[in-house]
Structure 1
Amino acid sequence: MKTRTVWQCDSEGYLVGPTVADESPLESGTYLIPAGAVTVKPPHLLTSKQEWRWDGKAWQAVDARPPVPVLTPAERLAAFLKANPDVSALISG
């Protein structure tokens, strides 16, 4: 089976990275593009302060988003209980 490199975007159009599209078993020369992926390669590498975003027609170099903080399971639970005091009350008895 033939494959082709395509570029995966997240739900907001930001580049996640390269991925693979497989050739259709029913139509030779037609590739099954994963949802959210595009066939147009980003033009070049960017600085660490920028990232690529697909606007539906072309790649746009945009300012990099701040990193998403990674919470430990205990921090996630604490945040959930704070946002849901009724659940916290059930646990506390």
Structure 2
Amino acid sequence: MQEKIVYQFNHSGLYVSQTVADESPREPGIFLMPGNSTEIMPPETWPDDVWPRFNGKDWTLIPKPKIQEPITPEKKLAEFLQNNPDVLNLIGKDSLL
């Protein structure tokens, strides 16, 4: 059986990785494409601020999605108490020290 290199993308069309499509055991020359994949090769390189996105026909470079920094529970609580001083008064400031 033969294999073919194909290129996978996520549900948003953003490039994920290169993978392999296997040849169909019942139909020689026909390859079984993994979900969300294409035979069209993405750009070999791209700037750090963009990412390849498959639009159904070709790859385009779009601004790279920004990943929001996770907020710690302590910071989340501090922001909540700052925005809700009545809650801070109910629980007492001394109990937080």
User: TM-score if structure 2 supplies the norm length?
Assistant: 0.67
Give the CA deviation at 1:48.
1.0
d(CA) in 1 for partners of 2:68, 2:5 = 27
Name the structure 2 match of 1:10: 10
Q: Gaps (5+ residues) in structure 2? A: 74-97
d(CA) in 2 for partners of 1:67, 1:29 = 41
d(CA) in 1 for partners of 2:66, 2:15 = 15
Seen in structure 2, the aligned counterparts of structure 1 residues 33 and 70 have a Cα distance that, compared at 3 Å, is farther
User: TM-score if structure 1 supplies the norm length?
Assistant: 0.70
Once the two structures are overlaid, the 10-residue window that deviates more, 2-11 or 40-49, is: 40-49
What amino acid is aligned across from residue 19 of structure 2 in structure 1? T
Give the CA deviation at 1:36.
0.3
Moved over 6 A (4+): none
Give the CA deviation at 1:68.
5.8
Aligned residues: 73
Matched, 1:67 2:61: no
Based on CA coordinates, which of the two structures has the bigger radius of gyration?
2
Name the structure 1 match of 2:21: 21
Seen in structure 2, the aligned counterparts of structure 1 residues 54 and 27 have a Cα distance that, compared at 3 Å, is same
CA-based RMSD of the aligned residues comes to 2.0
Identity %: 31
